[in-house]
Amino acid sequence: MNLPDEQTLWIFGGFFLALTVATVIGWILQRTATGESGAKVIRNLNERVFAWWVMVGVFGAAIALGTTAAMTLFGLMSFLALREFITLTPTKPADHRSLFWAFFIITPLQYVTLASGWYGMTVLLIPVYAFLFIPIRTALAGDATDFLTRTAKIQWGLMVCAYFLSYAPGLLVLDIPDYEDQDAKLLFFLVAVAQSSDVFQYIWGKLCGRHKIAPHVSPNKTVEGLLGGGLSAIALGAALWPITPFTPLQAAGMAAIIVVMGFFGGLVMSAIKRDRGVKDYGELLPGHGGMLDRIDSLCFAAPVFFHAVRFWFT
Amino acid sequence: MMARLIALLARLFTGATSRWRGCAPEPRLRIYFANHTSNLDFLLLWMSLPQQIRARTRPIAAHDYWTGDPLRRWLASSVFRAVLIERKKVTRENSPLVPMCEALRAGDSLIIFPEGGRNLSGEIGEFKPGLHHLAREFPEVELVPVFIENLNRVLPKGEFLPVPILCSVYFGPPLKLEADEEKGAFLDRARNAVLALRAS
């Protein structure tokens, strides 16, 4: 990586401006809001904006510090997300050693192999070796009750929180012709489109959401929110084409992949929350919920985006 | 100093959140009574209290375990200021209630686990009568039900390496012994108060 280059500064300047505008709007709304429920929505909005300042700051700092810092940040995010996931899914004392491996050996190892550039092991570690290891370790612990459910939950947590998410910083080790040392901007493209898609869908849904897509799974998702928010995020993605190895049309297509997978990521992770009877995975980010609530769309978009880039552009 | 450091570490690892449901963290004379699933229960509850309150709150701990070696002895006496009680061969002279009453009289709040021992299944067992005795002796003390969630998953019995599952500590509305309340009825009511927090 060769940062900060001029483009990167422009992008972060743009987001700084967008957040400043959002902060000012939130501040004005707070002063003019009427009614109990209105005030509550505005309070939540302002909490979200504040958390965005923190997230943009941390993400920007990690990118500026280089590949290792970015990998470490995503590794930490995986760890925190897995923690929320396992907290929510009941496990038994016999799962203890498997969980210890999942948290302290397998998740870090995923990022170590990724950073070392051992691509083959990065893509196999969790889907093959962890998949074999976890049931073996749990079987050795000797409790057969709900065995399949318990091992499946741990494997699922590892896949979503560690494996899928690791594809995002995985972009940093791709070799794209005529795009050397600029991969960080591609990671930025992925994160910006996925996260802004969530924000745009939230705004469009709040403004004109009528028709619920899946009322029993995720009651806040509406057709209007998805279309308006999705198209806005795709437009943003297309507008970001100068920082990518794509043409404007390709950038829009890639953004569409991220938007669609991100939407389904949010839907699937909501289904799990609903089944467990909770609204959020955690309380790490005020207004947003937990780490996993914030990155659910990213987890589903990252692997598909990564492989699309790897297939067509390397 | 050491107490603060240990509280901070435990807090980071368990990600513990204190949820005050029905009473606020105030510096009143209280008995916090909680479910007991792990050896670390008292530590988690104790560190979930704000620092000033923590300084005037003493956990009840087993005498035989916490005097086992110099480190544990130092932790129990200097860091946690534990009220050490006898678990085995209890006689009238070394009755566990005596040091508890002394601590309350000295103005310190207490952390107790009325099930008497750890319940490894995660269920909440019947309460021992000690809580009733304290409630009768000290009618002015607030009895705060506490439910500790998930700590048995962090470190199950017999394990030595913890896993970082998020824990919560729920504090419920304080109870008092009613004027004509029977011992059994009171203990049931206290146990149900803890169970109600689990359902919340």
Quote the number of domains for chain B: 1
In this prediction, residue A250 has a pLDDT band, given cuts at 50, 70 and 90, of very high
Bridge partners (DSSP) listed for residue B144? B32
> What pLDDT was estimated at residue A209?
83
List chain A residues with CB under 8 Å of B161: 100
The helix (run of H) or strand (run of E) holding residue B61 is strand B57-62
Nearest residue, CB atoms, A87 vs list B120, B150, B152: B150
In this prediction, residue A55 has a pLDDT band, given cuts at 50, 70 and 90, of confident
Q: Give the 3-state secondary structure of A2-16.
A: CCCCHHHHHHHHHHH
- Phi, psi (5° rounding) for residue A55? -65, -45
Instruction: List CB contacts of A124: < 8 A, sequence separation 6 or more.
Output: none
Of residues A234 and B120, more confidently modeled: A234
Asked whether the predicted pLDDT for residue A279 surpasses 60, the reply is: yes
Per the CB < 8 Å rule, is B166 touching A84?
Answer: yes
In the chain, the amino acid numbered A14 is G
CA A258 to chain centre: 11
> What pLDDT was estimated at residue A29?
86
Eight-state DSSP code of residue B112: E
A216 three-class SS = coil
Q: What is the pLDDT of residues B136-181, one digit of tens each?
A: 999 999 999 999 998 888 888 788 888 999 999 999 999 988 888 8
Q: What is the pLDDT of residues A9-33, one digit of tens each?
A: 888 888 889 899 999 998 888 888 7
Structure tokens at B24: 């606020």
Residue B24 to residue B44: CA distance in whole angstroms: 18
Q: What is the pLDDT of residues A99-116, one digit of tens each?
A: 999 999 999 999 999 999
Residue A113 to residue A77: CA distance in whole angstroms: 17
Nearest residue, CB atoms, A83 vs list B17, B156, B164: B164
> What pLDDT was estimated at residue A170?
94
B42 three-class SS = helix
Of residues A159 and B199, more confidently modeled: A159
Which positions in chain B have a beta carbon within 8 angstroms of at least one beta carbon in chain A? 15, 17, 120, 150, 152-153, 156-157, 159, 161, 163-166
The pLDDT mean for chain A works out to 90
- Residue B115: give the domain boundaries: 2-199
Is the C-alpha dihedral spanning B23, B26, B29, B34 positive or negative? positive
| Omega of the bond leading into A303 within 30 degrees of 0 (cis) | no
Write the ipTM: 0.79
Residue A10 to residue A100: CA distance in whole angstroms: 43
> What pLDDT was estimated at residue A155?
97
Eight-state DSSP code of residue B107: T
Bridge partners (DSSP) listed for residue B175? B143
Q: What is the CATH number of the domain that holds B113?
A: 3.40.1130.10
Per the CB < 8 Å rule, is B159 touching A96?
Answer: yes
Q: Judging by beta carbons within 10 Å of its beta carbon (0-12, 13-18, 19+), is residue A55 exposed, middle or buried?
A: middle
Q: Give the 3-state secondary structure of chain A.
A: CCCCCHHHHHHHHHHHHHHHHHHHHHHHHHHHCCCHHHHHHHHHHHHHHHHHHHHHHHHHHHHHHCHHHHHHHHHHHHHHHHHHHHHHCCCCHHHHHHHHHHHHHHHHHHHHHHHCCCHHHHHHHHHHHHHHHHHHHHHHHCCCCCHHHHHHHHHHHHHHHHHHHHHHHHHHHCCCCCCCCCHHHHHHHHHHHHHHHHHHHHHHHHHHCCCECCCCCCCCCEHHHHHHHHHHHHHHHHHCHHHCCCCHHHHHHHHHHHHHHHHHHHHHHHHHHHHHCCCCCCCCECCCECHHHHHHHHHHHHHHHHHHHHHHHC
> What pLDDT was estimated at residue A97?
95
Of residues A280 and A129, more confidently modeled: A129
| Overall pTM surpassing 0.80 (yes/no) | yes
Closest residue on chain B to A99 (Cα): B163
**Can you tell me which residue has the tokens 């760890």?**
A79
In this prediction, residue A90 has a pLDDT band, given cuts at 50, 70 and 90, of confident
List chain A residues with CB under 8 Å of B16: none
Asked whether the predicted pLDDT for residue A4 surpasses 60, the reply is: no
Nearest residue, CB atoms, B156 vs list A87, A96, A103: A96
Which positions of chain B have pLDDT values less than 70? 89-90, 92-93
